[in-house]
Amino acid sequence: MTPTSRKRSVILIAKGYLPDAGGIERYSRDMAQAYSALGYCTYVLTQCSGPPGIWRDGDVLVENVGQGGGQICIFFRMLWRWRVLRGRHVDMVHATTWRVSAPAFVLRPSAPLVVTVHGREVLIASGFLKLLMNHILSRADVVVAVSPTIARLARALVTSAKGRWLIAWNGLSFSGAPINRVGTSKPLRIYTFCRLVERKNVENAVRAVSELIRRGRENFCYVIAGDGPMRGSLSLLINELHLETHVTLLGHIPEGDICELYQKADIFLHPQITTANGRDIEGFGLTIADAMSFGAVAVAGKDGGPADFIEDGKTGVLVDGRSPVEIADALEQLLDNDALRLRVAEAGCMWVKENLSWRKSAEAILASLPVR
């Protein structure tokens, strides 16, 4: 094969990968698939709960070093495998978080190095890890931020930058799925789908529902899907507020049932807030964008990345997540006004489908690479 006919290739170093649940895990998988769809031979080096060793995910080749032995052992296993992989002729090395890029900084590749920042993993770094992160991000050829908010916050932490900073939106998880355009189910269905942690602020969503009941509203039901450390306290709060007939906790949702969940939603409620003194933030909000793509109107918190792609009152509704009354006011307006709800839902659906694509993100990253 001549140099001009060599097939282009990418190595993706990923913090996690499906079947593990999580935003970064899905990001890693979907970016790998997007590079593959663009004609690149794509090799993923990762640690996940999937089969150890090398296996195929469609046209993507995945090497899983395993999760056993703790972070230090995982790092050295990835470093050992990276010694072999870095000898390959590739067009780009893409680390899906700054931490997993460390092997590529110990043994620098000849290809351009791209590092993605998502939010929390950058903002919570302290001490030695913060110094290491600064070193990595300041020397990467391209730093990709998943939203303008994260680009601004992360860039402020880096003392100097050698490479280019790029905003490349996440894509949609189910871009080909059918849309719920009815939106007139009775009672109307309000859904939340997320990991049940403090930042997601589901407690105030429940309190907002209690406020709606106090106002005499009965034309809705509220369903919370997902699992996490706050599930127990949420169950207690629902019982304490006597909401058992209006609020359902579904728990973990199997991958195959997620589309059906989105299709049932008339309103998608995600009133996220920043926690840990502003260091724990919603970097993008993939479940929000996914729900919008199915025709649900999004009610999201003003904090973090979702405010970058939701135009308040036009493509969704933004609220102060720390105010259950403000959340309740927004929900009540949408429950009372079918025309408003359907108009905002349609505009939001159109926007995310036109602007959010893993292929577009991959193309933007590849186009940003320095010429070598």
- At 153-165, the pLDDT tens digits run 999 999 877 889 9
Q: Is residue 264 part of a domain?
A: yes
Q: Is residue 182 part of a domain?
A: no
Whether the Cβ atoms of residue 111 and residue 91 lie closer than 8 Å to each other: yes
Q: Is residue 322 in some structural domain?
A: yes
Q: Evaluate if residue 7 carries a pLDDT over 70.
A: yes
Domain count within the chain: 2
Does some domain include residue 183?
no
Q: Are 203 and 165 in the same domain?
A: no
Tokens of 137: 């991000």
- 10 assigned to some structural domain: yes
Same domain, 26 and 64: yes
Query: What's the pLDDT score for residue 3?
Result: 45
User: Using 50, 70 and 90 to split pLDDT, how confident is the model at 255?
Assistant: confident
Q: Which of these ranges, 14-23, 31-40, 148-157, 289-298, has the smallest mean pLDDT?
A: 14-23
Residues 19, 123 within the same domain: yes
Q: What is the pLDDT of residue 2?
A: 43
Residue 44: the pLDDT is 97
The CATH number of residue 208's host domain is 3.40.50.2000
User: Residue 319 contacts by C-beta under 8 Å, 6 or more apart in sequence?
Assistant: 271, 299, 300, 301, 302, 326, 327, 330
The verdict on residue 103 lying in a domain is yes
**248 and 129, same structural domain?**
no
In 211-266, where do the E strands start and end?
220-225, 247-251
Which among 272, 248, 245, 273 has a CA at the least distance from the CA of 261?
248
Specify the DSSP class assigned to residue 275: B
pTM of the full structure: 0.90
AA identity, residue 157: L
The rounded percent of the chain whose pLDDT value lies above 70 is: 95
Is residue 50 domain-shared with residue 117, that is, in the same domain?
A: yes
Domain membership flag for residue 181: no
In order, the DSSP letters of 55-104 are EEETTEEEEE--STTHHHHHHHHHHHHHHHHTTS--SEEEESSSGGGHHH
Residue 226's pLDDT band (cuts 50, 70, 90): very high
**Residue 191 predicted with pLDDT over 80:** yes
What is the residue range of 277's domain? 188-355
Please give the pLDDT value at position 71.
85
Where is pLDDT greater, at 3 or 124?
124
Assess whether 277 and 363 both reside in one domain. no
User: How does 27-58 read in b/e, with b if 16+ C-beta sit within 10 Å?
Assistant: bbbbbbbbbbeeebbbbbbbbbebeeeeeebe
Q: Give me Rg for the CA atoms of the chain.
A: 21
**Per-residue pLDDT tens over the stretch 302-314:** 999 999 999 999 9
Report whether the peptide linkage leading into residue 19 is cis, meaning its omega lies within 30 degrees of zero.
Answer: yes
- 287 in a domain, yes or no? yes
pLDDT computed for residue 183 by the predictor: 52
Identify which has the larger pLDDT, 5 or 15: 15
Positions of E strands within the chain: 9-14, 41-46, 53-57, 60-64, 92-95, 113-117, 142-145, 164-167, 188-193, 220-225, 247-251, 267-270, 297-301, 317-319
